[in-house]
Structure 1
Amino acid sequence: MEDRKQSPPHVLIFPFPIQGHVNSMLKLAELLVLAGLKVTFINSDHNHDRLVRFTDVVARFAKYPSFQFRTVPDGLPDDHPRAGDMVTEIFDGLIVKTKPALRDLLVVIRPPVDCIIGDGILGFVLDVGQELKIPVIQFRTISSCCFWVYYVIPDLIEAGVIPISGNEDMDRLVKVVPGMESFLRIRDLPSFCQTKNIEDSSLQNVAMATRKSSRAHALIFNTFEDLEGPILSHIRTECPKIYTIGPLHAQLKTRLPEDQKNKASSESSNSLWAVDRSCISWLDQQEKQSVIYVSFGSITVMTREQLIEIWYGLVNSKRRFLWIVRPDSVVGHGGEDIPQELIEGTKERGYLVDWAPQEEVLAHWAIGGFLTHSGWNSTLESLVAGVPMICWPYFADQQVNSRYVGEVWKLGLDMKDVCDRNVVERMVNDIMEEKREEFVKSAREMAKLAKESVSVGGSSYCNLDRLIEDIRLMSLNM
């Protein structure tokens, strides 16, 4: 028993198996092993195969003897797309296949696990932890502001805001989310909430998992107090123990040894896609802040018509653009029948790749703006880089994030629910020239606050130290 108490705490980290969740929770895992904790990271078989194929993740984590990967099935066939609306099918597979596999692993793994850091969208991780008497800290990879909307879903239902009626005024203010009464509209509700069916499984899953958070030992948010402090104060009335430790990618750069910092940003990734680094060479040839970067993340799926409208908007703006177009991102599109003027316009001013090293791209001096899906990792990466955003949200928390970017933080423009070439053209020019000064000023101020939060003595830096110390104390009480 004495040896057990002297060994470092063993933390098991389990993300929801999609790109954004895996990325941020792997960063947390690395921060914990840097602090001397033992970490077991649970990947789905499917995602681990992709990580190993497309990144240096095995070699990168091999330098940490206290770290190990373990894998579990996600319950889906390997050829399942795991994108677009079909991403919600992962939930069913996880309940059937992954929950029992996780429980079995926790029973036999040695040394025993002292603490689970589970993805907060997966309520069953909390159930398994409580059954086995292992403390569970929930990590919410979404914004705090979206978490709070999720938390009050029962109130939204009681007030009649959900379900959405067929003739709903989408610009009507939602008055029942504390702290957001003056600016949150129906169209800004998370995608799961914009349903006409009160029994919708995605809505019910999100609502139940989020309400379970009050039963967790604590909550972790990838955010910082200067960004989301007002909403965090509301969340603390229901979930008082919260660690705000973000932006995690900036926190990791602060804590990595000096000889690893440059490599972390330029050569390594946690990507489930093959990174095409040729775009960096292309950016190197462009003028300062002359390029609009376009990426809609790892899940967004668009129609061919939407693709063409965005493409025309970019070409017609006359701005240089770097656009990430995943092979699976356009429904029924094989690259055929693209108007010649778009092809010629792209040859002149654009560059298209399947996937890019996004942190490095956003930090590049040639980038002047970001047309984004408003995923939380992307929002934070753009914020830290001081790059103004145009937001075209697709899924989950992205609708709330884009409203905050445009209306609350004043870091860019919200283009939600619109896909029109003229609007794209106008907003690109606003971000890159017409209204650039005001957005850049706000973006630089927020970037400064973000970097201060993860510097020694900053709020996120101290909160991570507090989290690590609490895990150590937790292990002594096991």
Structure 2
Amino acid sequence: MRKESQSGDQWPLVLVPCPYQGHINPMLHLGKILHSKGFSITIAHTNFNSADPQSHPEFSFLPILDGLSDHEISTGIHIISTINVNCKLSFQQLLESHNNIFSCIIFDELMHFRQTVAANLKLPCVTLSTNNFATFLSRSALCQLIGEGQIPFQDSRSQEMVPKLEPLRFKDLPIPRSPDLNGFVQLMAEAYKIVNSLGVIWNTIDCLEQPYLMQIQQKFCWAPIFPIGPLHKIAPHTSGSLLKEDRSCIPWLDKKSRNSVVYVSFGSVASIGEKLKRWLGVGQQ
């Protein structure tokens, strides 16, 4: 269905990001791109880690009841699994309360309740994968190795190549720090059921990952794949930061000579110990 707006008829889309910084930003970038092409964009978000509507006046925002209590906000895997259980019914009721005006739902791949809701409402569903093809394949390999009992691995295997993913070594695998490896495998198994989607938008570019794209098309995904990234390069400028920008380092930087400082980012949820900090310092010298 179409929705009337002051700017004329638009195709109304609802976007459902996973509530973590590295997932929210690409979804907002995609929303900006689609909005610039004439689509009406609604962001359906959890109460946990919600984006700031005031920073995106061109979007509509709808909260989804996530049912998270303070004691449930622990590890990322547990939070995402709980959200997928709790949001399934509340999101469907939210769409029904808006008379199912939306033409299509675009979900983050980790919000796997998409499959049930889209099927119940008979709405087309598109998946957004915020990582690249190599990450998809390495996580798939990791899940298989966990299932085979090869993870955790002995230190003596750290330099061994991961089968069929050369030159990736065992120590390069994206092993979660959570002790609940089975929970990780279950989450990935649900998230990677992308064959039911109308298509998959991937935040990468095929000219850099053509061999990996071919592997995914042959083994994992028969839906159309759209590697249109990097999204932040083609989207109008936007800020989706969940944290207030810390500018306290600027006076220190101003005192340094040009090209004398190296900036290293580990993302918004990474944590490192003192030993690793020292290793990184040595590596930068």
The question of a shared fold, defined as TM-score above 0.5 by the shorter chain, is answered with: yes
Match of 1:239 among 197, 221, 246: 221
Equivalent-residue separation in structure 2 for 1:195 and 1:272 (angstroms): 23
Equivalent-residue separation in structure 2 for 1:30 and 1:204 (angstroms): 32
Residues 269 and 2 of structure 1: is their aligned pair in 2 closer, same or farther, counting only changes over 3 Å? closer
Aligned pairs for 1:51-200 (under 5 A) are 51-52=51-52, 57-58=53-54, 60-62=55-57, 64=58, 67-78=59-70, 86-110=75-99, 112-152=101-141, 155-156=144-145, 160=148, 162-165=150-153, 169-175=157-163, 177=164, 180=165, 182-192=166-176, 200=182
Equivalent-residue separation in structure 2 for 1:69 and 1:203 (angstroms): 32
Contact 1:40 1:70 (C-alpha < 8 Å) held by counterparts? yes
Residues 301 and 424 of structure 1: is their aligned pair in 2 closer, same or farther, counting only changes over 3 Å? closer
Match of 1:277 among 247, 251, 254: 247
Contact 2:142 2:175 (C-alpha < 8 Å) held by counterparts? no
Equivalent-residue separation in structure 1 for 2:41 and 2:21 (angstroms): 20
* 1:258-283 C-alpha deviation (Å, 9 max, x unpaired): xxxxxx3xxx5211111123434543
Contact 2:105 2:124 (C-alpha < 8 Å) held by counterparts? yes
Aligned pairs for 1:1-400 (under 5 A) are 7-48=9-50, 51-52=51-52, 57-58=53-54, 60-62=55-57, 64=58, 67-78=59-70, 86-110=75-99, 112-152=101-141, 155-156=144-145, 160=148, 162-165=150-153, 169-175=157-163, 177=164, 180=165, 182-192=166-176, 200-210=182-192, 212-237=193-218, 238-240=220-222, 241-252=224-235, 256=236, 264=237, 269-280=239-250, 282-302=252-272, 306-307=273-274, 309=275
**Where in structure 2 are there 5+ consecutive unaligned residues?**
none
Equivalent-residue separation in structure 1 for 2:160 and 2:190 (angstroms): 26
Contact 1:163 1:195 (C-alpha < 8 Å) held by counterparts? no
Contact 1:10 1:111 (C-alpha < 8 Å) held by counterparts? no
Equivalent-residue separation in structure 2 for 1:91 and 1:147 (angstroms): 18
Which amino acid letter does the alignment assign opposite residue 214 of structure 1?
V
SS of 1:46's partner is: coil
SS of 1:112's partner is: coil
Contact 2:109 2:128 (C-alpha < 8 Å) held by counterparts? yes
Equivalent-residue separation in structure 1 for 2:196 and 2:141 (angstroms): 16
**Where in structure 1 are there 5+ consecutive unaligned residues?**
257-263, 310-418, 430-478
Equivalent-residue separation in structure 2 for 1:173 and 1:2 (angstroms): 52
Aligned length: 280
Which amino acid letter does the alignment assign opposite residue 102 of structure 1?
F
Which amino acid letter does the alignment assign opposite residue 98 of structure 2?
I
Contact 1:164 1:196 (C-alpha < 8 Å) held by counterparts? no
**TM-aligned CA deviation for residue 81 of structure 1:** 5.5
Length-normalised TM-score, structure 1 = 0.53
Identity %: 30
SS of 1:139's partner is: strand
**TM-aligned CA deviation for residue 80 of structure 1:** 6.2
